[in-house]
Structure 1
């Protein structure tokens, strides 16, 4: 029964990250409750997985660095506020060294997303896209924002297997 509880608590992270990415792609918003739920779910998951107090402290420190980085990217206009909060919450969960993988994969995924959106918004491709669902047509709208929550989710999911949460499952 304990393993089921642990698995459910750890599953909060990928479920919320995926939900945030889908919400960002379809509406260009990430509601505040999503990063807040990640924040609230971290401590119970960490305790259930038996993370040592020092490891929890390291996660908190990495999360603080993620918050500062997210705020800086937001201030520079690179990402939206919801993206910055999601970035910080993801770094909290991932800890070190998975946060380094997260940052790298997120950067690459963000670049690929930007190139894809540029192609989608080109005069050649866009006429074929506007007949699709409204949210997809909006992605193809020139000058529209970039739903960077998708890149953050890709980076988070790529880095999650290297996090202490997943490493703790190896001992079961």
Structure 2
């Protein structure tokens, strides 16, 4: 039962955040809150030791410091920062966190480039009638929740939470 929660909660929250950011340019606070609270509930139930949970919390704190700086300099939105921090809890302070942040950065760069290309061709896209959300065409922001979700999906197989949940199934 606990393994099923690990398999479902993290990916589902990331998917909800990505779609919400795509269509509304906002990430609901409850998504980040569910990610953080569910980690705090599930981690001890999976048998994770207190020092290991502490390292996961330290990872969240480290990502918080980086996101706070980016938010304060108006480079990152608040919803994106909260989602990134909550997702970092699921990875811990290890190589999987570096993989997660790296994937988010690369995917975010590609996403930004693609959206800027789409916006530069918005008149053609509107004339053809392609179904592109208005938030992509007209907003001045980038829906970075999509990059966070894709990066999370890419790095999640390497996360200690998922690896531990898979080992309980053996």
When normalised by structure 2's length, the TM-score is 0.90
Conservation of the 8 A alpha-carbon contact between 1:6 and 1:48: no
Counterpart among 137, 140, 165 of residue 161 in structure 2:
165
1:137 is displaced (CA, Å) by: 2.7
1:132 is displaced (CA, Å) by: 4.7
Distance in 1 (alpha carbons) for counterparts of 2:73 and 2:151: 21
Distance in 2 (alpha carbons) for counterparts of 1:166 and 1:5: 11
Distance in 2 (alpha carbons) for counterparts of 1:23 and 1:138: 11
For 1:104, the equivalent position in structure 2 comes to 102
Q: For 1:121-136, what aligned pairs fall within 5 Å after superposition?
A: 121-122=119-120, 125-130=121-126, 131-133=129-131, 136=133
For 2:60, the equivalent position in structure 1 comes to 63
DSSP-derived class of the 1:146 partner: coil
1:26-50 Cα deviation digits (max 9, x unpaired): 1000111111111110022212221
1:25 is displaced (CA, Å) by: 0.8
For 2:49, the equivalent position in structure 1 comes to 52
For 1:118, the equivalent position in structure 2 comes to 116
Deviant stretches of 4+, over 6 Å: none
1:88 is displaced (CA, Å) by: 0.4
Pair 1:147-2:119 in alignment: no
Distance in 1 (alpha carbons) for counterparts of 2:65 and 2:30: 20
For 1:24, the equivalent position in structure 2 comes to 21
1:158 is displaced (CA, Å) by: 1.1
1:80 is displaced (CA, Å) by: 0.6
Q: Do the aligned partners of residues 45 and 128 (structure 1) sit closer, same or farther apart at CA in structure 2, a change above 3 Å counting?
A: farther
Distance in 1 (alpha carbons) for counterparts of 2:6 and 2:151: 20
Conservation of the 8 A alpha-carbon contact between 1:60 and 1:92: yes
Gaps of 5+ in 2: none
1:128 is displaced (CA, Å) by: 3.8
1:72 is displaced (CA, Å) by: 1.2
